[in-house]
Amino acid sequence: MLRIFFVVENPKERLSANKSVVANVLDKKWSMDKIILAFEFSERSNSALEFAQNIAEKTNSVLEIVWVDNTLDDLVEIEKETIHQHFEEILRNIVSQNADRMPQGCLTYSIINGNVGEALSEKASFEEAALIVVGSHNKGKVFETRWTHTTASHLAHISKTPILSVPIDCEYNDMKTIIFPVDFNFSTRQKASMVVWLAKMFKSFVYILGLKTTTDRSHIEKIKEYTYQVRRFLINNQISCEVVFRHADSLSKEILSFSAEKNADLIAVMTTQETAISNLLLGTYTHQLILQSDKPLLIVQPLNINILGKENLDG
């Protein structure tokens, strides 16, 4: 029988109980990771659901669909109860309709309270989830991107767990082609372990994109050094790859252009990047990518580089 659980409490109050339930879901014969899908009953959540479920199937992971209830406090209690019942029924139906695609006990849902980004980040950290999958807007207007808030952007800023941001209407494809941008930032290579893990699971080809943002010789040499370090790391892990160098006045524009050229299935980025005038005007290039990319984005925090990999790159 499919294991389902339903929790409606403040995040800190429900963590210990929720931990034991999740532990019971894990079957010892599986070597599973935990994937959390941030679900908000929208079109973008439906796109993210397809990605999350396919990745969970491919990687033998437990998938937990999580709705963060941030219902307004001024609602009367009966209205809150009606909302909970309505959304719980939707979640139950989603789990029931998709149960045959996954091993028994590997598709679950929960409802928690709190600020959406903070509650999801805390839950993922406590339960040592491998990935948070979240739907995002698609192709926001350039001059709106700095000020447009999304759950994906908030999570990318605060979460120590890697984020997979899935644009609206993005159709799932196995991750056969992954773009690995390399910039001048010291941490740019640290997403390599996560990319290796996914590339092995999906038998992906990785384009390592060295991004030169100035003509300064020392800058260019450092980009080359970082890029070829990544190449050696991928080859040592039996990942097929190719190095490409491009000049980039705008990191986000060049990444998106190259990804379209290669018909990529995934772009892997860090949450830190070089300082540039365009970023001051438009926000970080990670945020720009979330708003403008029609490709899924794997977003990794610098301090979270070894969740799924055992080897390190320098830095």
List the pLDDT tens digit at each of the 315 positions of the chain. Answer: 333 334 433 434 433 333 333 333 323 333 348 999 999 887 778 889 989 998 998 888 899 999 998 765 555 565 667 777 888 898 999 888 887 887 767 899 999 988 889 999 999 999 999 999 998 865 544 334 333 457 888 888 888 899 999 988 788 888 999 999 998 887 888 899 989 989 998 999 999 999 998 999 999 999 999 999 999 999 999 999 999 999 988 888 999 999 999 999 999 998 865 444 444 333 467 778 888 889 999 999 886 444 444 445 554
Q: How far is Cα 198 from Cα 178, in angstroms, rounded to an integer?
A: 9
- Predicted structure pTM score: 0.79
Q: Where are the domains of the chain?
A: 11-129, 177-304
Instruction: Among 3.40.50.720, 3.40.50.620, 3.40.50.300, 3.10.20.740, name the CATH number for the domain at 11-129.
Output: 3.40.50.620
| C-beta of residue 145 within 8 angstroms of C-beta of residue 282 | yes
| C-beta of residue 297 within 8 angstroms of C-beta of residue 289 | yes
| C-beta of residue 150 within 8 angstroms of C-beta of residue 136 | yes
CATH architecture of 177-304: 3-Layer(aba) Sandwich (3.40)
Q: Do domains 11-129 and 177-304 have the same CATH topology?
A: yes
Q: How far is Cα 80 from Cα 86, in angstroms, rounded to an integer?
A: 10
The structure tokens listed for 122 are: 């805390």
